[in-house]
Amino acid sequence: MENVILQLSYLIGSITFILGLKMLSHPDTARKGNLIAAGGMTLAIFATIFLYEYTGGEGQPVRLHNYLWIFGGLIIGTTVGTLAAKKVQMTSMPEMVSLFNGMGGACAMLISLVEYNKPDVKDTGTMLVIVLGMLIGTVSFAGSIIAWGKLNGSIKDRTIPGGQVINFIIFAGLITLVILVVAGIVPDMPGLFYAILALAALYGILFVMPIGGADMPVVISLLNSFTGVAAAFGGFLYNNPVMLTGGILVGSAGTILTILMCKAMNRSLKNVLIGSFGGAKTGAAAGSKEQGNYKEISLNDSAVLMAYAQRVMIIPGYGLAVAQAQHTCHELEKVLNEKGVEVVYGIHPVAGRMPGHMNVLLAEADVPYEKLLEMEDANDQMGSTNVVLILGANDVVNPAAKDDPASPIYGMPILEVEKAEHVIVNKRSMKPGYAGIENDLFFRPKTSMLFGDAKKVLQELIAELKQV
């Protein structure tokens, strides 16, 4: 009877994961979907703690009994996770996602290490699951920690001479070692198993290290899918439907998102895997030409231009998150609406530093989801837009992606803001964006620069609009 209850709990947990993922597809239901999935996970955890049985040393069924360690870990993990999630700023959300994802990869790695060191005889299939779970989990852990360091600025981009060749050699070495260990060609050699662990960690470091900042959203998505796959292998090992379902959902969703992000960046997934993805390129090629002069615009002129427009499109970027100006931006939108101006938001798939960063940022400020236009829709409406207000975005509006074959971002789809009648760019300075590339948009005739902190500028712009 208790086993039936356990399996029923696993089934309910799996269903809540699927429902939760479905509900996450829309902001109106995302919060509820997250809670439903969390509830299913909680049910599965406690059902496992109190109802799961395993075969003991004498062949008798034994239940989990080390409750002090189990609940100690649960309490510590829950406390740390809750405090971290509550205190994290939106600007630091990508780092937190990378760090938490790395912890998931580390868990999968540790599961494989524990199972490998058990004295029971393992068949080829079980050995394959153990080795692959450890390999993928280790790559995810090491890569996520490097991504976390790069996002918070403590680790700089490093391009290793011959890095692609080195990664190919490491990858080939990993495949060879996996075959040797799984097939038992070299029996009783634990050193080979730990060599896979070491090489996987090295590969995770080397393939993330040279990746440029503008490409980081794709890397986060890819590493997230790795963690999901590694968790699914844990589900296979323990014959646990919840782990298996959760891992498959995370792995498949992360893979689909990675492909979509690669498409948005006009990159190849193969280049991500071999570690040549946007690697530490500077803007020398794109910014070496003579740019000419840029022109500034005053707050009063900006307010007049926007107040008498029919349509204004706001392009949010990482600078908006740094200034924590999302609520002020929404207030600007409401002031313009009161004056009869239609306001929409143009969202590039890789704006910010993680997938969906701008969507989350604006959702926090209660911006209606219907006003968030995906890149294709935004570009379709750009020609009928009177004013585009760019808030801290850079690379996703850089015309070099279309016009300069020498640019590192050449071929990347962008928000084609130059099609609008007027472009106002809010930045702190003329420094290049996260990709380190000069932006020719700033020097074009339609573009005017409005310098300053995004939040302060928006507050002053709102005050000016109320006087128009």
Q: Which residues are catalytic?
A: 395
Determine the Cα–Cα distance for residues 79 and 390; give it in Å rounded to an integer: 39
Report how far residue 169's alpha carbon sits from residue 399's, in angstroms, rounded to the nearest whole number.
Answer: 37
Query: Which residues does 468 contact at the CB level (< 8 Å), separation at least 6?
Result: 303, 304, 307, 339
Instruction: List the structure tokens of 302.
Output: 């900006």
DSSP 105: H
Q: Count the alpha carbons within 13 Å of 74 in the hemisphere toward its beta carbon.
A: 11
Residue 340's contacts (CB-CB under 8 Å, 6 or more residues apart) are none
Q: Say how many Å lie between the first and final Cα of the chain, rounded.
A: 73
- Please report, for residues 184, 195, 236, 298, the alpha-carbon distance to residue 181 in angstroms, rounded to integers and kept in the order given: 5, 10, 19, 68
Distance in angstroms (rounded) separating the CA atoms of residues 250 and 398 = 32
Cβ contacts of 363-366, under 8 Å, gap ≥ 24 = 363/27, 363/30, 364/90, 364/326, 364/327, 365/326, 365/327, 365/329, 365/330, 366/330
Three-state SS at 405: coil
